[in-house]
Amino acid sequence: MSLREKIGQTVVQHVEHAFGAGLANKITSEMIGNFLADQPVGGLFIGGEVIRHAYGAYEMYSELIHKFQEKSPIPLLISGDMESGAGGAVASLTRFPSMLALGAADNKEHAYNIGKHTALEGRMAGFNWNFAPVVDLALNWLNPIVGVRALGDNPFKVAELAALIIKGMQEHGMAACAKHFPGDGVDLLDQHICTSVNSLNEEEWREQFGAVYKTVIEAGVYSIMNGHIALPWIEPYDKSKNRHRPATVSKKILLDLLRNELDFKGLIVSDALNMGGLTGWDSYENRTIESFNSGIDMMLWPGASYIDLMERAVHEELVTEQRLNESV
């Protein structure tokens, strides 16, 4: 691969950001070919979002994704927010009750089957990567992010059910993604707006979020999404910037803790890089390069200038090719 193609493999692009909202069913093969020639991305995001309703029929997605796969020389990762079934991304497919409902039912068979049928329906529409399950803990009922998206507040139960969801999903052809490391649901802040803070001390964190992530990693989860979340016991408050350092730009959290201590060998994907929990940290150029150097393998919606920026960063030795090759 060329340098540009390697950098492209670290991108998850939002189809509608690239082609314009509402154009999902009007994108031609020629448009896709021109886009991939300029932006040889490794992954796409498509469909409804956690903060946006699902839309469209699976046939539309299947046809569109087939066009992308046909034009891409390297098979694409096609991701979506399918936390409660494929119906979370595609309106015509099945939407299950919330994860909190599954946690309340505490049924292992249901957990496995939710993973299984999310994968089967999602693959029918062309998806092969699901940004789920949420393995955050609902420790604060005022938290605006977690709410009914979590399986509960008991780390043993959350870990057990999440591992079964992952197994059901990955045994049926869809990569799972546990999120949001190092763990949301403690404070009452919204990382879409500002950096949220997991204020548990080290012992508490290890007994709760640490135990959950240890279980899902041992279950073989293919990917983990980090959140724009601070973890002060390992990464203290940054006095020079007068703010908490989010995990997105923390080697201590992503490399020392997740990679080395928890021994996660899979892919680390960022949460959306246009969220306020990261954008307040530094300039676009500086925070993007720092995020990649902190251990992120795929950047979620890094912006149209990302590949050009990273080419310059490699040439100026702000990013090493060795670091890039690790992610690729």
Contact assessment for residue 245 and residue 235, using Cβ atoms and an 8 Å cutoff = yes
Residue 141, Cβ density class (10 Å: 0-12 exposed, 13-18 middle, ≥19 buried): exposed
Distance CA 52, CA 67 (A): 25
The alpha-helical segments, DSSP class H, found in the chain are 3-8, 15-19, 29-38, 58-71, 99-105, 108-125, 155-170, 202-205, 211-218, 251, 276-279, 284-293, 306-315, 321-327
Report which residue type is found at 41. Answer: V
* Whether residue 144 has a cis bond before it, omega within 30° of 0: no
Distance CA 309, CA 25 (A): 30
Helices 155-170, 108-125: inter-axial angle, 10-degree rounding? 40
φ, ψ dihedrals at 291, nearest 5°: -60, -45
Residue from 271, 282, 297, 308 carrying the catalytic annotation: 271
- Give catalytic status of residue 297 as yes or no: no
Distance CA 161, CA 151 (A): 8
Contact assessment for residue 117 and residue 94, using Cβ atoms and an 8 Å cutoff = yes
CA atoms within 13 A on the CB side of 268: 27
C-alpha 22, offset from chain centre: 23
Distance CA 262, CA 190 (A): 26
Report which residue type is found at 292. Answer: F
Other beta carbons within 10 Å of 109: 10
- Residues marked active site are found at 271
